[in-house]
Amino acid sequence: FFCRPRSHSSATASVALRISSGMDTTTTTLLDGTSVLADPDLQEHTAKAGSLAVRGFFKWVTFEVLGHAVLATLCTGTSYVLFQYILNVENINVNLLPHVLIGMVLGVILVARIVNGSQQATSAAGSVIAFASTLRTVAMLSCNVSETLTINAGADHEKKATTKFRYELVRLLNLSFYCYTLMLKGLKLVTPPASLIPLEGGVMEAEVLSVVSCPTAMVCKWITSLLEEQRQAARITDQQVSVMTTELIKLMKVYQDTHGLQFTPMPAMLNGFSYFFVVVWVYSMAPVIAMMEMHDNGDLNNEGFGLGLAFSFFLALFYFGLYEAGKIIEQPLAGVVDLLPIDEMGHTLSDDLSNLVDDPNDEVPVFLPRPPDARNGKI
């Protein structure tokens, strides 16, 4: 088996993209005379993933979190004024030990939520990579299909049939990944992209995909039927069909594992418990901070009043921010979409699938090419 390179114009455009996007294209010669350069595809994916990660740095700072922080600050200021000017309380001595212990326990629980959610998101990200890897394996195994097995039945007919098989297989593999990414984003396919519509029966196929609950599973079924047609035509042996079917079973398992994360019951009791005691602890800490500042400084005009307000704000921001960051446990797939360049992975996969099939006449296109802006260096 060998990987068929793309056309010269496509390779030239790819090199231009790497140079214009600032990628390192310097060639290095090793001691044994081998010339190498940094993997441009890896650089592209790493840069895209890093850009997505930067966007998520302050995603936990929501209006709800800021609202709680501001409200807790106002509670501290109100308590300060209430104790000094209305209740005329003096020499208050507050024991902080209960609040400190409860705060430590809450911090551990909130961090545990984040770790659990991150593990689920990491598992989902691994499933995406495994899904794409299995598609590449199926494309490579399709090289076993050849018209030479029944050359006596008519060379032209067999050549056209084999070419059609390669085209349809790669199209369906691309379509399965496209439906899979839509599932990750919580979307449902209504009309597939024009490049993935078959030459015949496109309307019927689109209607079926828009009706079924699992479009990816339906596409895998079509791939199985396509393989069975080749087996009946003696273009592929039973053993080879068995190997490819095993890969399709792996594909469905990865899909089911990922899809199951959408319906896995989130720990509602833990979430409710955490949120309730974070609210109680933060807002009960507001008057405690006011009492501490009054005990240490005793005067509203003192700088301690401003420090108390700042401490309340950042304390509330910290605890409510921890709770917000832990919400990834509720939607791990959303975290994957935010951190992985899913669309860019689809473009790279589409190019790989076209290269991996045995297509000497270059009749299998890249079904999901990069958009024009990406070709011009705008990733």
DSSP 82: I
Question: pLDDT grade, residue 130 (50/70/90)?
Answer: very high
Per-residue pLDDT at 329? 65
Q: Is the pLDDT of residue 71 over 90?
A: yes
Per-residue pLDDT at 32? 63
Question: pLDDT grade, residue 56 (50/70/90)?
Answer: low
In the numeric block, the tokens 């989902």 are attached to: 124
CA distance 290 to 82: 10
Give bridge partners of residue 229 from the DSSP assignment.
Answer: none
Q: Which residues contact 266 (CB under 8 A, 6 or more apart)?
A: 329, 330
Q: What percent of the chain has pLDDT over 70?
A: 74
Per-residue model confidence as pLDDT tens digits over 233-290: 888 888 888 988 999 999 999 998 888 877 765 666 777 888 899 999 999 988 888 8
> Is 178 in contact with 185 (CB distance < 8 Å)?
no
Q: Which long-range contacts (CB under 8 A, 24 or more apart) does 300-309 make?
A: 300/80, 300/81, 300/84, 300/85, 305/77, 305/80, 308/76, 308/77, 308/80, 309/73, 309/76, 309/77
Region 173-196: what's the mean pLDDT?
88
Per-residue model confidence as pLDDT tens digits over 307-360: 888 889 999 999 999 898 887 667 777 777 777 788 888 888 999 888 888 777
Q: What percent of the chain has pLDDT over 90?
A: 17
**What type of residue sits at position 147?**
E
In the chain, which residue ranges form alpha helices assigned H by DSSP?
8-20, 40-55, 63-81, 97-141, 155-184, 202-211, 215-232, 238-263, 268-296, 303-325, 332-339, 342-356, 372-375
Q: What is the mean pLDDT of the chain?
A: 78
Cα 170 vs. chain centroid, distance in angstroms?
23
- Dihedral angle over CA of 57, 58, 60, 64, nearest 10: -170
- Window from 92-96, 213-217, 232-236, 353-357 with minimum mean pLDDT: 92-96
Q: Which residues contact 63 (CB under 8 A, 6 or more apart)?
A: none
Per-residue pLDDT at 52? 55
Q: Dihedrals φ, ψ of 185, to 5°?
A: -85, 0
CA distance 28 to 31: 10
Taking alpha carbons only, the member of 232, 233, 251, 231 closest to residue 242 is 231
Q: What angle do CA 350, 354, 162 make, to 5 degrees?
A: 135
Give bridge partners of residue 28 from the DSSP assignment.
Answer: 36
- Window from 103-117, 124-138, 155-169 with minimum mean pLDDT: 155-169
Half-sphere exposure of 31 (CA within 13 A, CB side): 0
Q: Which residues contact 1 (CB under 8 A, 6 or more apart)?
A: 140, 143, 356, 358
> Is 172 in contact with 222 (CB distance < 8 Å)?
yes
**What type of residue sits at position 186?**
G
3-state secondary structure of 35: strand
CA distance 78 to 312: 12
> Is 94 in contact with 291 (CB distance < 8 Å)?
yes
361 vs 206 pLDDT, higher one: 206
Taking alpha carbons only, the member of 139, 239, 124 closest to residue 186 is 124
Rg of the chain in Å (alpha carbons): 30
3-state secondary structure of 275: helix
CA distance 74 to 62: 18
- Window from 40-49, 125-134, 290-299, 318-327 with minimum mean pLDDT: 40-49
User: What's the residue count for the chain?
Assistant: 379
Region 7-26: what's the mean pLDDT?
47
